[in-house]
């Protein structure tokens, strides 16, 4: 069996099954294929999407359990909190402070803060050792 999307001369699109492509041609030629909406025998094949199966490398059950996700996020937050315990929040001055420490103009110390993408790229290009934090940090003055 083969399925085709068909369109009548009035623009109605419908689906029809045939034993083969030859069966479609024969029935169309004999005007046996009719539009179910308007009964027109002027029918042509419509553009149709190919029936492609799912990718073979997809995993079934791709969603993670909400409880597991919560546990993972809590563990990440705890690890990040521990990492930041001895670090100082420098806010939007992060790029300047990190650069100053790297250049030896300020004593080296663990810091964290905010930087734009352009500032972060510039620091990396200059060889300043930085890394993004996996989770957002609330500035100390905004913690309730």
> Can you give the pTM of this predicted structure?
0.53
Please report whether residue 97 resides in a domain.
Answer: yes
pLDDT higher than threshold 90 for residue 1: no
Note the maximum CA span of the chain: 91
CB contact at 8 A, 18 and 2? yes
Residue 21, domain extent: 2-45
- DSSP per position, 6-20: EEETT--EEEEEESS
Per-residue pLDDT, averaged over 57-85, amounts to 85
Please report whether residue 85 resides in a domain.
Answer: yes
What is the pLDDT at residue 137? Answer: 86
Name which of 101, 119, 123 is nearest 111 in CA terms: 101
pLDDT in tens, 7-47: 999 999 999 999 998 999 999 999 999 999 999 999 999 87
Strand-pair category, 43-45 with 2-8 = antiparallel
How many percent of the chain have pLDDT more than 90?
71
Other Cβ atoms less than 10 A from the Cβ of 8: the count is: 21
What total number of domains does the chain contain?
2
Please report whether residue 18 resides in a domain.
Answer: yes
Please report whether residue 68 resides in a domain.
Answer: no
Please report whether residue 121 resides in a domain.
Answer: yes
Tokens representing 36 are: 């179910």
Name which of 76, 82, 52, 64 is nearest 135 in CA terms: 76
Contacts with 17 (C-beta within 8 Å, 6 or more apart), sequence order: 1, 2, 3
Please report whether residue 74 resides in a domain.
Answer: no
* Strand partners for 6: 14, 45
Please report whether residue 59 resides in a domain.
Answer: no
Please report whether residue 34 resides in a domain.
Answer: yes
Per-residue pLDDT, averaged over 78-95, amounts to 93
pLDDT higher than threshold 80 for residue 53: no
What is the pLDDT at residue 129? Answer: 94
Name which of 33, 34, 42, 31 is nearest 9 in CA terms: 42
């Amino acid at each position: 069996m083969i399925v085709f999307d068909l369109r009548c001369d009035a623009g109605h699109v419908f689906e029809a099954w045939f034993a083969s492509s030859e069966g479609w041609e024969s029935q169309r030629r004999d005007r046996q294929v009719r539009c179910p909406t308007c009964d027109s025998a002027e029918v042509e094949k419509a553009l149709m999407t190919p029936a492609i199966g799912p990718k073979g490398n997809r995993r079934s059950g791709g969603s993670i359990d909400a409880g597991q996700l919560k546990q993972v996020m809590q563990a990440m937050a705890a690890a990040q909190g521990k990492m930041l315990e001895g670090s100082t929040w420098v806010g939007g001055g992060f790029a300047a402070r990190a650069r100053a420490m790297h250049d030896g103009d300020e004593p080296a110390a663990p810091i964290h803060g905010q930087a734009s993408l352009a500032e972060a790229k510039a620091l990396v290009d200059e060889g300043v050792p930085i890394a993004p934090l996996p989770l957002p940090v609330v500035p100390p003055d905004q913690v309730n």
